[in-house]
Structure 1
């Protein structure tokens, strides 16, 4: 009886750890997506800045 409870608890703990790992992976994917958006925004801003400099010089 006690052994069965321990095994059930162990299995549920493993499931919970797996869920936590999955949540962490999801958070990491979201952070990476945000970084990519930010980099893309910086590139676009950089291009606009270059265009503005060309207009001022030209």
Structure 2
């Protein structure tokens, strides 16, 4: 009888260790999902910043072109 109880207790400890390993794997998967969400937010933020920077550069370039055209027009008149 004592051996049977020992085997039952051993199996229960093994099951508990397996449950703990599964919980740890789930925590790791959640951490990976969170890292992926952070990377995605970073990409979106970076893309938005690049679009804004590009648009600002285009506006600046356009304004410089208009000023140059106005100056050229005055110089040729």
Instruction: Give the TM-score of the pair, scaled to structure 2.
Output: 0.67
- Structure 2, unaligned runs of 5 or more: 55-77
Q: Which string of whole-angstrom CA distances, capped at 9 and with x for unpartnered residues, describes residues 1-58 of structure 1?
A: xxxx111111100000000000001001111111111101110110000011112222
2:29 is aligned to 33
> Mind listing any 5+ residue stretches in structure 1 that lack a counterpart?
none
Q: TM-score, normalised by structure 1?
A: 0.87
4+ runs deviating over 3 angstroms: none
